[in-house]
Chains A and B, each alone.
Chain A
Amino acid sequence: MTSPSRTAVALVDFDEAVRRYDPVLGIEVHVELGTNTKMFDGAPVTFGAEPNTQVTPVSLGLPGALPAVNRKAVESAIKIGLALNCEIAPLCRFARKNYFYPDVPKNFQTSQYDEPIAFDGWLDVELSDGEVVRVEIERAHMEEDAGKNTHVGGHDGRLQGAEYSLVDYNRAGIPLVEIVTRPIPGTGERAPEVAAAYVRTLRDIFRALDVSEARMERGNVRADVNLSLRASADSPLGTRTETKNVNSFRSVERAVRYEVSRQAAVLDAGGLVVQETRHFHESDASTSPGRVKSDAEDYRYFPEPDLVPIAPSREWVEEIRATLPELPAARRRRLDGEWGFAEAEMRDVVNAGALDLIEATVLAGSSPATARKWWMGELARVANAAEVAFEDLAITPAQVAQLQALVDSGRLNDKLARQALEGVLAGEGDPESVAAARGLEIVSDDGPLLEAIDAALAAQPDIAEKIRGGNLGPIGAVIGAVMKATRGQADAGRVRELVLERVQG
């Protein structure tokens, strides 16, 4: 949907904008926890279920229904708080956030207000070139997700303006943790990249903690991006806008870029940035003003009288801390040390998303260097050509390790290994069976090699003469001919030895 106000927006070139203004970010991330049931009732939370089949009286806000807190969700919230270096509140409460909207059946969202379960943390975010930005975390609090509205009619004229919405409450009540940063200053031209890297770092942490599947495309992780500009780092903070529900790393980056360009144009024209929520549009990477709600900020929060306070004992918190898994950044550092990759190599591996696969390949028996060579070389080439992710390639780390074992044992050379890989990717089976079925095996028996060498030397008699005269250059031509004759299945080193014996001996 394009409105006139959107097409008429003035923009300043991004590079120009960050030369003259200092952007300040603030990011709110919602993560849906991967519990079996909802935050306050036992309704299941299976993704993709039929509408309104995962609801209880609590999810529907029926009169008299009483909520009860999911212990697992609290545990997950504490895990997230600890992973983000937060303090865990010794006592905190839920609060009602009151507003009317059809996806909130109770007419309030059960959230936390002035007493979040976790607060005062930080997260180090590593950028693509290795620079680390420390993001301060203001708070992480627990709340519940809303249902899902589908807007029908009107725009396409089918119902002649009789617009209405259909509501599915399966998602209403799914546990969420909302993580709020403090203002992030000093990112300059890297603001878009920092914003995306922060959300990606959080996503990786959620997965490592096993608190959520954290699948962006399913909306498990959603970001609201706040941005303001100021004249310089010494100036007071400017007026910010909040772009809601930006749901991919790329969109986070583009939303920040757009707002920097747009706000710079507003300020250049002597205008004032309006504090408002904005929508992000994937189609052209723009943002537009959200609905103006006159009572938007008047949520009349008050403590939820149907729930008693949460007071996590220090013992419980320490128990959870002790069982936290190794977090992604620490794991990267450890693997880097174990593998001995160069700094740039390791960064490429991380940026390509190949870390897990290489680790699994190494665990399956390959050396780190060969595992890296396969994934970052041939397999990256295949994945790029097919425009798919590594995970979508029809090969497992164990199969890559098996392929490398065939090379290490001398049964395949690099060229044959690539052919075997092709077979594996085509679904022909394990490297071992592909090699057998395709007849891929280095010819190590000297007989057929000598036959091919003799044929090659006979075809070009001057070559033997040159070699005998001490000019070893032409030997490559003989090896090439033998390779061709054996369809690449010869061991080049052995061929070389045999040629020299033949000519000189």
Chain B
Amino acid sequence: MPTFNSEEVARLAALARIDLTPDELTQFAGELEVIAHAVEKVSELATADVPATSHPIPLTNVYREDVVSDVVDRDAVLAAAPASQDGKFLVPQILGEEA
């Protein structure tokens, strides 16, 4: 039976770039526990004859043809970004990254 402690929640939060307070870590550990139990309940019903699925609708091979569509207006999207320069999005440097 899965259990969540606050260290695991802290790791998940870090991976997802979400800042959580110690109180929130404890709170979410409890809530994730409830979700895990719910999934476990469903797993009981998923017997060997039920195939795993990644999509609720049983469809395959939905394609688009290789045809050029409209592009977005650059000025409009750059205007929506926090910062831009020379037609590019400006983002903070990543720590330790080589130029």
Contact = CB atoms under 8 A, between A and B. Distances in A.
Interface of A: 1, 35-37, 41-44, 50-57, 60, 68-74, 91, 93, 98, 100-102, 150-151, 153-155, 163-169, 279, 291, 295, 298, 300, 303-305, 307-312
Interface stretch (B21-29, B37-45, B81-89): B81-89
Closest 10 CB pairs of A and B: A42-B69, A303-B54, A163-B93, A72-B66, A71-B63, A166-B88, A311-B60, A151-B99, A68-B64, A51-B87
A354 B35 CA distance: 65
Given A52-B89, A305-B55, A69 B64 contact: yes
A93 B69 CA distance: 25
Contacts of B69: 37, 41-43, 56
A308 B60 contact: yes
17 contacts: A43-B68, A52-B87, A60-B72, A60-B77, A69-B64, A70-B66, A71-B63, A71-B64, A91-B60, A151-B99, A155-B99, A167-B88, A279-B98, A295-B15, A304-B54, A308-B60, A309-B55
Contacts of B54: 93, 303-305, 309
Nearest to A156: B99
A167 B66 contact: no
A44 B68 contact: yes
B90 A166 contact: yes
Given A60-B72, A151-B93, A305-B54, A37 B67 contact: yes
B52 to A, nearest CB: 9
A73 B66 contact: yes
Contacts of B71: 43-44, 53-56
B59 A308 contact: yes
A309 B60 contact: yes
Overall SS of chain A's interface = loop
Contacts of A52: 74, 77-78, 87-89
B99 A1 contact: yes
Contacts of B17: 100
Contacts, number: 137
A279 B98 CA distance: 10
A150 B94 CA distance: 11
B19 interface: no
A330 B63 CA distance: 33
A165 B94 contact: yes
Contacts of B55: 303, 305, 308-309
Given A55-B71, A305-B55, A102 B94 contact: yes
A290 to B, nearest CB: 8
Contacts of B14: 295
B97 interface: yes
A68 to B, nearest CB: 4
Contact of B89 (A72, A93, A102, A310): A102
A56 B97 contact: no
B62 interface: yes
Contact of B86 (A1, A166, A291): A166
B48 interface: no
Contacts of A151: 93, 97-99
A165 B93 CA distance: 5
Contacts of A54: 71
Nearest to A281: B98
Nearest to B64: A68
A53 B78 CA distance: 11
B57 A37 contact: no
A54 B71 CA distance: 6
A164 B62 contact: no
Which of B17, B55, B86, B88 gathers the greatest number of chain A CB atoms within 10 Å? B88
Contacts of A72: 65-66
Which of B64, B67, B70, B96 gathers the greatest number of chain A CB atoms within 10 Å? B64
A101 B55 CA distance: 27
Which of B14, B17, B72, B96 gathers the greatest number of chain A CB atoms within 10 Å? B72
B61 A310 contact: yes
A70 B78 CA distance: 27
A160 to B, nearest CB: 13
Contacts of A73: 66
A269 to B, nearest CB: 26
